[in-house]
Structure 1
């Protein structure tokens, strides 16, 4: 038995499969920035990754028990090759709210932003600093 072979039909099916595969792996427009928290006796240190974002496009709000960062990476489109542009960069607004386990003196927060890394020093409130008290045991009598 002879069967007709339609190579273009198979090519079209493979193209559709590849297109759907690439669509699944495309990055979302909204991306949550990566964070790192480090706590000491005096403060909570928060490091946040914001590559490609200018300092003027970052908004930071700190309450006693959370930090909210809203940032926007703006598009710089360069059109080449007959008006077509292909980009895999993330653009748009994104935000992250990070709850804190310790109460913060939100009026004394300091920030540093360099090379796409935001560093926040969040000093603990006095009540939080004194939360843990070390008790010394005297001689134990038998």
Structure 2
């Protein structure tokens, strides 16, 4: 049987690694913008919070049953004079795809961006009319 010497610092090192892990996991991760979807008889009204994003950095793509918004929040220049700077703001690219509960007319979408809020008006597509089709029954020749 081999004897090993007890090292009390080993347990403290493990504790320090666990504590460092707690602080590292509290750093911000990629964030998708929060959204609010309202429905009227004529359209869906979609609002997204995009604070700090310039309108030229927003890309909106609309399909019949979903809206995709991607944007980039660019960081300003930082100067470090007295030690480290801590920032919890998220800078970088993000994307959000929002499924819609019904089809829309994606060619008539209106967008407005003011004070960091993106407002989309998504007009509903006209309901397809119930089409009745007459089917002729052919009898095979005898």
TM-score (norm 1): 0.75
Where does the alignment leave 5 or more consecutive residues of structure 1 unmatched? 1-5, 132-142
Whole-angstrom CA distance in 1 between matches of 2:75 and 2:16: 30
Instruction: Give the corresponding residue for 1:94.
Output: 94
Please give the secondary structure, in 1, of the residue aligned with 2:111.
strand
* Residue-pair matches, total: 123
Whole-angstrom CA distance in 1 between matches of 2:83 and 2:23: 22
TM-score (norm 2): 0.75
Please give the secondary structure, in 1, of the residue aligned with 2:122.
strand
Distance 1:97 1:127, change over 3 A: same
| CA-based RMSD | 2.4
Instruction: Give the corresponding residue for 1:26.
Output: 27
Q: Indicate the larger mover: 58-67 or 8-17.
A: 8-17
Cα distance per residue 1:30-83 (max 9 Å; x no partner)? 211111110111000001111111111000001111100000001113212257
Whole-angstrom CA distance in 2 between matches of 1:75 and 1:12: 36
Instruction: Give the corresponding residue for 1:139.
Output: none
| Structure index of larger Rg | 2
Where does the alignment leave 5 or more consecutive residues of structure 2 unmatched? 1-7, 131-142
